[in-house]
Structure 1
Amino acid sequence: MRADRLVSLVLLLRQHGRMSAAALARELEVSTRTVLRDIEALSAAGVPVYAERGRHGGFALLPGFRTELTGLNHDEALALLVAGSRRGAQAFGLGSALASAMLKVVDALPDSYRDTAAGAAERLLIEPETDLLARRQPSDEVPDAVVATVLRAVFGGRRLRLRYAPPDREPSWRTVDPIGLVTVRGRGYLLATRSGEDRTYRLSRVLAVEELAEPAQRPDRVDLDRAWQERSTRFRHGDDQVGVVVRVHPERREELVGTALSVRSEETGEDGWLRLEVSFQDRRHAVWALWQLAAGAEALEPQWLRDLLHARATAIATRYQPRA
Structure 2
Amino acid sequence: MRADRLVSLVLLLRQRGRLTADTLARELEVSTRTVLRDIEALSTAGVPVYAERGRHGGFALLPGFQTELTGLNHDEALALLVAGSRSGARAFGLGSALASAMRKVVEALPESYRATAAGAAQRLLIDPEIDLLSRRLAAEEVPDTIMAEVRSAVLAGHKLRIHYAAVNQTPKWRTVDPIGLVTVRDQGYLLATRSGADRTYRLSRLVAAKELAEPAQRPDRVDLDRAWQERSTQFRTGGDDQVTVLVRVNPARRGDLVGTALAVLAEETDADGWLRLEVTFQDSRHAEWALWQLATNAEALAPQWLRTSLRNRAAAIATRYGLPS
Shorter-chain TM-score above 0.5: yes
Q: In the alignment, what sits opposite 1:157?
A: 157
Q: In the alignment, what sits opposite 1:18?
A: none
Mapping for residues 160-199 of structure 1, pairs under 5 Å? 160-199=160-199
Q: In the alignment, what sits opposite 2:216?
A: 216
Taking a change above 3 Å as real, the CA distance of residues 318 and 286 of structure 1, as seen in their structure-2 partners, is same
Deviations 1:188-228 (A, max 9, x none): 00011101101000001111222223222222222211211
Give ranges in structure 2 of 5+ residues lacking alignment: 1-67
State whether residues 179 and 218 of structure 1, in contact with CA within 8 Å, keep that contact through their aligned partners in structure 2. Answer: yes
Taking a change above 3 Å as real, the CA distance of residues 160 and 323 of structure 1, as seen in their structure-2 partners, is farther
Q: Distance in 2 between matches of 1:203 and 1:320?
A: 40
Task: Tell me the amino acid that sits aligned with residue 309 of structure 1.
Answer: L
Shift of 1:320: 5.5
Deviations 1:264-299 (A, max 9, x none): 344444555433322222323212211222333221
- Identity among equivalent positions (%) equals 74
Task: Tell me the amino acid that sits aligned with residue 131 of structure 2.
Answer: D
Mapping for residues 231-270 of structure 1, pairs under 5 Å? 231-240=231-240, 241-270=242-271
Taking a change above 3 Å as real, the CA distance of residues 129 and 274 of structure 1, as seen in their structure-2 partners, is farther
Is the partner of 2:160 in helix, strand or coil?
A: strand
TM-score by length of structure 1 reads: 0.71
Q: Distance in 1 between matches of 2:115 and 2:272?
A: 59
301-310 or 82-91, which moves further after superposition? Answer: 301-310
Q: In the alignment, what sits opposite 1:44?
A: none
Task: Tell me the amino acid that sits aligned with residue 76 of structure 1.
Answer: E
Q: In the alignment, what sits opposite 2:126?
A: 126
* CA RMSD, Structure 1 to Structure 2 (Å): 2.4
Mapping for residues 220-231 of structure 1, pairs under 5 Å? 220-231=220-231
Is the partner of 1:127 in helix, strand or coil?
A: coil
Task: Tell me the amino acid that sits aligned with residue 137 of structure 2.
Answer: Q
Give ranges in structure 1 of 5+ residues lacking alignment: 1-67
100-109 or 216-225, which moves further after superposition? Answer: 216-225
Q: Give yes or no for the alignment of 1:105 onto 2:110.
A: no
State whether residues 248 and 277 of structure 2, in contact with CA within 8 Å, keep that contact through their aligned partners in structure 1. Answer: yes
Shift of 1:109: 1.2
Q: Distance in 2 between matches of 1:156 and 1:300?
A: 52
Is the partner of 2:141 in helix, strand or coil?
A: coil
Q: Distance in 1 between matches of 2:295 and 2:146?
A: 38
Q: In the alignment, what sits opposite 2:305?
A: 304
State whether residues 138 and 185 of structure 1, in contact with CA within 8 Å, keep that contact through their aligned partners in structure 2. Answer: no
Q: In the alignment, what sits opposite 2:58?
A: none
Taking a change above 3 Å as real, the CA distance of residues 147 and 322 of structure 1, as seen in their structure-2 partners, is farther
Q: Give yes or no for the alignment of 1:93 onto 2:89.
A: no
292-301 or 311-320, which moves further after superposition? Answer: 311-320
Taking a change above 3 Å as real, the CA distance of residues 317 and 174 of structure 1, as seen in their structure-2 partners, is farther
Taking a change above 3 Å as real, the CA distance of residues 266 and 133 of structure 1, as seen in their structure-2 partners, is farther
Shift of 1:314: 4.2
Q: Distance in 2 between matches of 1:281 and 1:275?
A: 20
TM-score by length of structure 2 reads: 0.71
Count matched residues.
Answer: 257
Q: In the alignment, what sits opposite 2:33?
A: none
Taking a change above 3 Å as real, the CA distance of residues 263 and 79 of structure 1, as seen in their structure-2 partners, is same
Shift of 1:138: 3.7
State whether residues 164 and 206 of structure 1, in contact with CA within 8 Å, keep that contact through their aligned partners in structure 2. Answer: yes
State whether residues 250 and 273 of structure 1, in contact with CA within 8 Å, keep that contact through their aligned partners in structure 2. Answer: yes
